[in-house]
Amino acid sequence: MAIKIALAGNPNCGKTTMFNDLTGSSQYVGNWPGVTVEKKEGRLRTHKDVVVTDLPGIYSLSPYTLEEVVTRNYILDEHPDVVIDLVDGSNIERNLYLTTQLTEMGLPVIIALNMIDIVQKNGDKIDVEKLSQALGCEVIETSAIKGTGSRQVAERAVQMALTGVKTHPGHTFSKPVEEALSGIESLIDGTVPQERLRWYSIKLFERDEKVLEKLELDADGKKRLEEIVSGLEAELDDDSESIITGERYQFIGKLVSQCVRKRQSGLTTSDKIDRVVTNRWLALPIFAAVMYIVYFVSVSWLGTIVTDWTNDTLFAETIQPAVGGWLEAVGAAGWLQGLIVDGIIGGVGAVLGFVPQMFILFFFLSILEDCGYMARVAFIMDRIFRKFGLSGKSFIPMLISSGCGVPGIMATRTIENEKDRRMTIMTTTFIPCGAKLPIIALIAGAVFPNITWMAPATYFFGIFMVVISGIILKKTKMFAGDPSPFVMELPQYHFPAPKGVLLHMWERGKAFIIKAGTVIFVACGIIWFLQSFGFGPEGLYMVEDENASLLAAIGGVIAPVFLPLGFGNWQAAVASVSGLVAKENVVGTFGVLFGLGEVGEDDPALLSMVPTLFATSASALAFMVFNLTCAPCFAAIGAIRREMMSAKWTWFAIGYMTVMAYVMGFIINQLGGFLFYGVSFGIGQVLALICVAALLWGLLRSYNPNKTARKPAVAGAHA
């Protein structure tokens, strides 16, 4: 029979890092609490019959948050053979709180004293022997990030599962509490498994509703339980749950003072950094500067240099002539040469050309995440997000979305408030993801070559869209209400581990390469086919003039829709629609369309062709803005559908994004064209001004959902 090992511990203590190390998988790891929202399973690399389960991080086993319920139910109902309790050694006091609860559950528990490298670096000493004795279970020092100790813990866990030893909690509570607990034990003795007797009696003492429901005590039992609990509550003048919490912390406090020797106290280096980066005045400028540098370097500066090389040297000078020459030599048919050279290499190559840029972006994002800064950004943004009704927790999905929107949308699961969660799902893909990078680079390079801040500006435009959406939506009945308060543990700053950062970068970038080889490969093939063939009197034939192609016919139907935005030609229309499959396709489509063989975003031919599609530079900007903010790709729409769990909400979300994108594009094209490019004032400008007025009305109108319900509160708020 398979052995089941569960990894449990506080949020952000390294469970997923250890899980990846043990099972060889590559689950998303982030240096902030709450990255893992669902349990994940894998098999031990060294013993294929051992199943390891990575549980969401929790602070306690009380059933108050979703993660706690998931973890608790797993441990109670799935009976893992061993629980590996990860304890962050640099933060031992708070972490042991959960340990005291886990050891009561009647399962074999082994402690992995993780982050031991940080403990040693801080110069602290932990007496492992004494700790192990006091807690009643084995303790092994580990550093999951460096890969030390993990295997040892797993080996010991397997041995424990095979021998079937049970862990008995080493801690006891004060005498009156113990007396009350044994009173409860005698009430339920025989109705629960012997090894869980203590756990159940503690939970009953705490009046845990889920346990009360499950045990179905009779009326007499309930009465006696209540007598015991309220008797002690009166005696100690505290509620039962707080009594237990206090007892646990007291035990831990004593234990820590015996086993842990801290070298320093007071302000750590981490605190000193926090004083600066979360400073009231400096926090936002620092964040803006950091993101500016990240996007500037990865898109405009270093990215362009690397991409130029891939396009000009690798593709244009090496691959394309080689493939073209070879096809010529073997005498391939003209249409096949066209499909491969123009369609596949042109389209897929245009997208692949951006992969180096994406890698650079992901490299920076990984560093920012890993060092602990991103968790601070959530804290910094909380103050601003709160003003328009979202909490800083909503910023975490947005941080993830700057890589890819799909995990970003999934990360909204940690937001408890349903309205906040829906609103975050609807707005998180406004942040440009990696796949939108080629669109930015293309338009910025082709139309605005002298504006170096174009790429960073798109990131801040995304945040701007989130902010105005927040303000507008919060003033509607659907979303009104205060955001939930923000509480988040902040990890200590640390120097990013090169292996982790590179791995993280590779994992994210790999997904784009795979996409280029599959989805985009097929899409470019189809686009090539549609633009090469037309339907004439003699049926399907290969066209000379693209304007006679099937693609032009299809695009021509859609194009009028985009006319007010300034790109009412079939090429741009088709590119925009193909972006639904994957956003890279927007550029891929241009690559196929211009039939120039290899065209990367920096290819002079493509750069000179693209501007001809747009009436003015304002239209090109409108095209970019529309494509960055409209309905996301199908993968992200699928994620929205799963997370919203309602078709109605999914359509509403997609509709909202597309309408907002259209309105923004319209305003930019009409007013931008009038103000900067000499377009005369006409009906379009009037309509654009009406749109601006409507947006301002949505932003500035006063709305009070509690007009009648809570008069005094309203009066107070306005006073």
* CA atoms of 124 and 116, how far apart (whole Å): 10
Any known ligand binding at 35? yes
Nearest residue (CB) to other proteins, 335 versus 486 = 486
Any known ligand binding at 54? yes
Q: Which residues contact 395 (CB under 8 A, 6 or more apart)?
A: 377, 378, 381, 382, 385
Any known ligand binding at 37? yes
* CA atoms of 619 and 613, how far apart (whole Å): 9
Nearest residue (CB) to other proteins, 385 versus 590 = 385
Residue 233: strand, helix, or coil: helix
Q: Are 629 and 427 in contact (CB under 8 A)?
A: no
Q: How buried is residue 521: exposed, middle or buried, by Cβ count under 10 Å (0-12/13-18/19+)?
A: middle
Instruction: Verify binding: residue 209, other proteins, rule CB under 8 A.
Output: no
Binding region for other proteins (CB under 8 A) out of 128-136, 160-168, 275-283, 295-303: 275-283
Residue 365: strand, helix, or coil: helix
φ/ψ (deg, to 5) at 539 = 90, -155
Nearest residue (CB) to other proteins, 34 versus 432 = 34
Q: Are 554 and 577 in contact (CB under 8 A)?
A: no
Any known ligand binding at 324? no
* CA atoms of 428 and 433, how far apart (whole Å): 10
What does the buried/exposed string (b/e) look like for 327-348 if buried means 16 or more CB atoms within 10 Å of the residue's CB?
beeeebeeeebbbbbbbbbbbb
Instruction: Verify binding: residue 104, other proteins, rule CB under 8 A.
Output: no
Any known ligand binding at 294? no
Q: How buried is residue 413: exposed, middle or buried, by Cβ count under 10 Å (0-12/13-18/19+)?
A: middle
Any known ligand binding at 24? yes
Instruction: Verify binding: residue 683, other proteins, rule CB under 8 A.
Output: no
Binding region for other proteins (CB under 8 A) out of 47-55, 238-246, 418-426, 533-541: 238-246
Structure tokens at 261: 């020797």
- When binding is defined by CB under 8 A, the residue of 152, 159, 194, 242 that contacts other proteins is 242
- When binding is defined by CB under 8 A, the residue of 43, 94, 146, 210 that contacts other proteins is 94
Instruction: Verify binding: residue 269, other proteins, rule CB under 8 A.
Output: no
Pairing status of strand 50-54 against strand 40-43? antiparallel
Least distance (Å) between residue 509 CB and other proteins: 31
In sequence order, which ranges of 141-190 are alpha helices (DSSP H)? 150-163, 175-188
* CA atoms of 430 and 42, how far apart (whole Å): 34
Q: Which residues contact 487 (CB under 8 A, 6 or more apart)?
A: none
Categorise residue 351: left if φ over 0, alpha if ψ from -120 to 50, beta otherwise.
Answer: alpha
Number of residues that bind other proteins (CB under 8 A): 42
Taking residue 449's Cβ as centre, other Cβ atoms within 10 Å add up to 10
Binding mask 317-356 for other proteins (x = CB under 8 A): ----------------------------------------
* CA atoms of 514 and 506, how far apart (whole Å): 12
Nearest residue (CB) to other proteins, 113 versus 344 = 113
Nearest residue (CB) to other proteins, 380 versus 624 = 380
Binding mask 277-296 for other proteins (x = CB under 8 A): -xxx--x-------------
* CA atoms of 602 and 315, how far apart (whole Å): 12
Instruction: Verify binding: residue 492, other proteins, rule CB under 8 A.
Output: yes
CA nearest 276: which of 378, 496, 266, 284?
284
Instruction: Verify binding: residue 59, other proteins, rule CB under 8 A.
Output: yes
Least distance (Å) between residue 689 CB and other proteins: 35
Instruction: Verify binding: residue 650, other proteins, rule CB under 8 A.
Output: no
Least distance (Å) between residue 271 CB and other proteins: 5
Instruction: Verify binding: residue 380, other proteins, rule CB under 8 A.
Output: yes
Instruction: Verify binding: residue 301, other proteins, rule CB under 8 A.
Output: no
Binding mask 471-490 for other proteins (x = CB under 8 A): --------------xxxxxx
In sequence order, which ranges of 57-115 are alpha helices (DSSP H)? 66-77, 92-102
Least distance (Å) between residue 485 CB and other proteins: 4
- When binding is defined by CB under 8 A, the residue of 155, 195, 241, 308 that contacts other proteins is 241
Q: How buried is residue 363: exposed, middle or buried, by Cβ count under 10 Å (0-12/13-18/19+)?
A: buried
Got the DSSP string for 381-401? HHHHHHHTT--GGGHHHHHHH
Nearest residue (CB) to other proteins, 115 versus 339 = 115
Q: How buried is residue 307: exposed, middle or buried, by Cβ count under 10 Å (0-12/13-18/19+)?
A: buried
Any known ligand binding at 21? no
Nearest residue (CB) to other proteins, 285 versus 498 = 285
Binding mask 410-449 for other proteins (x = CB under 8 A): ----------------------------------------
Nearest residue (CB) to other proteins, 249 versus 301 = 249
CA angle 698, 563, 548 (to 5 degrees): 150
- When binding is defined by CB under 8 A, the residue of 46, 64, 152, 703 that contacts other proteins is 64
- When binding is defined by CB under 8 A, the residue of 21, 233, 370, 382 that contacts other proteins is 382
Binding region for other proteins (CB under 8 A) out of 58-66, 302-310, 572-580, 619-627: 58-66
What does the buried/exposed string (b/e) look like for 107-121 if buried means 16 or more CB atoms within 10 Å of the residue's CB?
bbbbbbbbbbbbbee
Pairing status of strand 109-114 against strand 139-141? parallel
> What is the enclosing helix (H) or strand (E) of 536?
strand 533-536
Instruction: Verify binding: residue 383, other proteins, rule CB under 8 A.
Output: yes
Least distance (Å) between residue 54 CB and other proteins: 20
Nearest residue (CB) to other proteins, 98 versus 599 = 98
Any known ligand binding at 23? yes
Binding region for other proteins (CB under 8 A) out of 92-100, 397-405, 525-533, 542-550: 92-100
* CA atoms of 611 and 572, how far apart (whole Å): 11
Instruction: Verify binding: residue 275, other proteins, rule CB under 8 A.
Output: yes
Least distance (Å) between residue 308 CB and other proteins: 42
Signed CA dihedral, 571, 576, 579, 585: sign only: positive
Residue 126: strand, helix, or coil: strand
Instruction: Verify binding: residue 249, other proteins, rule CB under 8 A.
Output: yes
Residues 385-414 that bind other proteins (CB under 8 A): 386, 391-392
Instruction: Verify binding: residue 65, other proteins, rule CB under 8 A.
Output: yes
Instruction: Verify binding: residue 246, other proteins, rule CB under 8 A.
Output: yes
Point out which residues bind other proteins (CB under 8 A).
Answer: 59-60, 62, 64-65, 90-94, 97, 241-242, 245-246, 249, 267, 270-271, 274-275, 278-280, 283, 375-376, 378-380, 382-383, 386, 391-392, 485-490, 492
Return binding residues for Mg(2+).
20, 23-24
Which residues participate in the annotated binding site for GTP?
Answer: 9-16, 34-38, 54-57, 114-117
Which positions make up the binding site?
A: 9-16, 20, 23-24, 34-38, 54-57, 114-117
